[in-house]
Every structure is written in structure tokens, then in C-alpha cells.
Amino acid sequence: MRTLALDIGNTAVKYGCFERDELLEWASGQTPAQVREAVLRLQPEHVVVASVAEPTAVWAAELRALVLGRVLEFVPATTPLPLANAYATPHTLGADRLAAAVGAAWLLPGRDVVIVDAGTAIKFDVVEGGQVFRGGSIAPGLAMRFKALHAFTGRLPLVAPPVNATDEVALTGTDTESAIRSGVLNGAAAEVAGLLAAYAARYPKLAVVLAGGDAPFFRARLKGPIFVVPELVLIGLHRILVHHVAT
């Protein structure tokens, strides 16, 4: 079975095409025209579309005109899942968070897993025993932190992060720009490391999965075994679609 997963995020539209669980192709920063071209070229049997930025109805209607099989609009509160959702308010839960949890549970079956999705926001989410999604935390991402310092102060400049994610960031800034970089980047790294340590104390055999556009930055600064899976949300959406088709 060939499927296509479409993830409409806050900053980018991504798609992934799967053949029997193998990711054949994926791309980010896609326009509607590019998604249409990919669907026509790849000819998936079924499609799943999820969004945290806009309603999925318009995208789904376009896809239904192109695909012979099912077009699933993923709704966290109502779409059947291959794991239990213990989130208290599933109607407020972002589709990307739940899809990432499904993806991590499939990649690491039976494990306690914490997912760190470092993108527009830095999101921590926990799956217990590969079976139950518990929830987690949401904090501003790196770009948002830089923008907030500039937007909510009178004179602080808008500072860009280093081009190379592995570049060392000075602990002590010697001017305003380097001080902002130190505060945002070193502070976020310490925050993520501290939360991971707290989760590791709670779950002794914890597995850590890192995803999102800023994953390379955090991977370079975190210790211990970490699975880096940039396409985690797409994998989860694919597995949700497979589960939906099967049931």
C-alpha cells in the first residue's frame, strides 16, 4: 500500500510518501501546487492530512479529487489511534504532537519514550510503554525566543542564531548581540537537558526521540543515546492512516 502523509505546520508544509512503511520521499516548505504535483507523480492509494495552522477541509477536498482511495483528515479527539490517548483535553491537542507520539511508539515498541520536537515551539511528549500517550509540555522555540526579546523590548535587536547548528555559543556574551545568543541558545539547551534529566529519573529505561527543525542544535548539546528522527510526525501520520484503513 502506498500512502502520502501531509503535515501542515505553523512554518512549513511537509509531505512524506510511504510504501509498506518505507519512506520513499519527503519534502518540506511545500506550496499547494507542489503538493498537487507530488500526489500526481507518486499516485498514493490513500492520503492523511493534518494541520496545526489552518483547517484541513480545503486541502482534503483538493486531495479527494486526485486520489482514488481514502483521504483522512486527522482529528486528535476523534480519529482512531493505535495507542491510547490519556490527554485530558484531546480537542485542544495539536495533531503534530499526537502523530509524533504514534510514530515514536511504532519505532520503539514497548518502550517509555519522551519526544522532543524542537520547531516553532519546543514540545516534550511522553508515551508510556509504547501504549499510552500522557502529554507533556510546550515552550517557545528558538526563533520565537529571539523574536520575543526584540518585539517586547524597546531597544534589543532581532538576533539570528548561528548558521551552523554545531557552532559553539559563548557562555558569557561580550556585547548585546552575543549576550542575547547566549541567553536564548544556552538557556534553551539547559532547559531541554534539565527536563530530560527529570524524565529519566521518572522512567529509568527512557528512550529519547528528537525531531523538528532545530533538532541538530540540541543533538550537538545533549548527552546520552538519542534517536534523531526528522520525519517523525510524517511517520506517525502514516501509521495512523494504516490503522484507519485496517479498521
Q: Are 84 and 130 in contact (CB under 8 A)?
A: no
Rounded to 5 degrees, φ, ψ at 29 are 70, 40
Q: Which position among 7, 96, 117, 214 bears the catalytic label?
A: 96
CA 72/CA 47 separation, integer angstroms: 6
E strand residue ranges, 45-112: 46-51, 71-73, 84-85
Please state, as a whole number, how many other Cβ atoms lie within 10 Å of the Cβ of residue 68. Answer: 9
Q: What would the grid cell of residue 56 be?
A: 484541513
CB 7 within 8 A of CB 99: yes
125 is catalytic: no
Nearest to 28 by CA among 18, 41, 38, 19: 38
- Given a contact cutoff of 8 angstroms between Cβ atoms, the answer to whether 70 and 47 are in contact is yes
Give the angle subtended at the CA of 122 by the CAs of 117 and 198, to the nearest 5°: 90
Give 70's contacts (C-beta < 8 A, 6+ positions apart): 46, 47, 241, 244, 245
- Cα 149 to Cα 29, 137, 145, 175: the distances in Å are 26, 21, 6, 15
Catalytic residues: 96
